[in-house]
Each structure stands twice: as structure tokens, then as C-alpha cells.
Amino acid sequence: MFKGSIVALITPFKNDKLDESNYTEIIHYHIKNGTNGVVPAGTTGESPTLSHNEHKKVIEIAVKECKGKIPVIAGTGSNSTSEAIDLSKHAESAGADGLLIVTPYYNKPTQEGLFQHYKSINDKVGIPIIIYNIPSRSVIDMSVDTMARLNELKNIKGVKDATGDLDRVTEQLKKMGKDFLQLTGEDDNAIEFNKRGGVGCISVTANVAAKLCAELQKASLDNENDKALSINKMLSPLHKALFIESNPSPVKYAASLLKLAPSELRLPLVQIKESTKKEVENALKFAKLL
């Protein structure tokens, strides 16, 4: 269903407005370079500062451009259940293939609150839902037991795991089985994640290294370990450089160097420091992308 290199798309801005033309170009760059799926309006797409209209628009553009080519997993999470339902219903009506829904941030629900949040969304849509578990941003961590309860619902199909804990892959595989899709949210652990039962990565690095990330995932999933490790060696400095400062500031700078998109961000995100720029540039050169 969803596997391989799935990009968490950046959202290009021009004079603080969504640049629809550039967004379309970015999507076609991914289709051309073998990316296996796209996620519009995720964290990397600066969803917290997109207006509701912009949020819906980027999903609509992604669906229009990707239809029949690669799947679209729309970012529709919110810490307001009603808002998440509204965004999810819109994404489904627009033609998205699936939904990526982050654990509610800031209001810190209990495990029961998490279950009820996802169940409420599940009951209002008819397309696959991928849970996005990222304690570093949301503060809360969905337990494996809560995930197993959710897995019994009709639309819950997998997880984007950004816990950084590889043992979770094994635990989740034992509890939910191989039909529960496990995608890493951490580019730098993608190979080991797949070895333990994962099926791909929702990637930041793929924004600027689409072909290499797609090749790495294919090699990894085909058990061509030497090839996967060789590609990962090229990309490893880039994985690190893109998280020296808060995502997506570094990856937008990298995209600007490759003339894929401008580095423009929305506050409270700002341009990266000169020292970080140098790290990003060196990492792109190491990967032979610049």
C-alpha cells in the first residue's frame, strides 16, 4: 500500500504566499526521480502556519498532480479532534489515498484520549490512516498497547514512527503483525528500521535527494544490503545536517541551493545560521548533489 521513499513535502512560499506553481514543479521532480509517495501538509510542509485554505489547497494540488502515479498521504492532524476530522474529510473528498495524523500536541491527552481522538477520525472517513508518533514534538508517546487497540479499527493501517527507538519496531511487529505498516520518520535509521520489519521512510532528506532516497529504500527492501549501505554512507552527513536546526529550515536552504525552491520560511521559523549553511552545503557536496 504505502512503502519505500515517501517524501514529507516542503511548502514553497513567495512573498509569504503559497507558490502553487513551484509546488507543482516540486511534485513532478519527485515523480520523475522515483519517489514512492508524497505527504503534503506535514510538519516539513510547515502545517502549523498554513491557513486552513492553504492546507486544503496543497492537498488538492498533490492529488491532482500525483493521481494515478504515486500515492498521496495527506497530513491532516491537529490537537483539535474536530479540526482533524474536517481536514481528513476534505482530504478524502479531494482524492487522497491516505491520511497521516499526528498525535495531538500541547494538550497532552492520556492514552485513552489518544484512542478516542483517532477513533473519532476513523469513524468519519473511509481511507487508510497512518498514526504519526513523534514524542519530541508532541510531548506524548503513544504506547504499543494503544496502537494495538487502534489497529482493530477499520481504517488504522500503520504508523510513522519518529520515536527513534528501534526496539519499538520489533514490539509493534509482534503486537500488530506484518500487515500493520511501519514507516520510519527518521532518515538516519531507515536501513535498520526496515531490517526489523519496517517498509519505508517518510523522509525529509528526499526533498533534496529524491533519487538517492528512492534507490536506498529499494535496495533495503530488496535485501541488497551492501548497495543500501553504500547509498546511506553518501547521505548520512545530509541526514544529520538537515536537523542541526529546526526542520524544515535546513532542508529549505538545501532546496534553494539546488534551485528546487526558495528558502523562504514563515515565522516563528527563521533562516539558518551561517555555520549551519556551511554544514548543509558540505553535506550536499559529499552526496554529489551540489
Residues known to be catalytic: 132, 160
Cell 514529507: give the residue.
8
Can you spell out the DSSP letters for 44-83? TTTGGGS-HHHHHHHHHHHHHHHTTTS-BEEE---SSHHH
Sorted by sequence, the CB contacts under 8 Å of residue 111 that are 6+ apart come out as 142, 143, 145, 146
Three-state DSSP class for 42?
A: coil
Three-state DSSP class for 130?
A: strand
State how far Cα 1 lies from the chain centre. Answer: 16
State how far Cα 272 lies from the chain centre. Answer: 21
Amino acid at 100: L
CA distance 151 to 154: 8
Residue count of the chain, please give it: 290
The closest of 161, 235, 160 to 205, measured between CA atoms, is 235
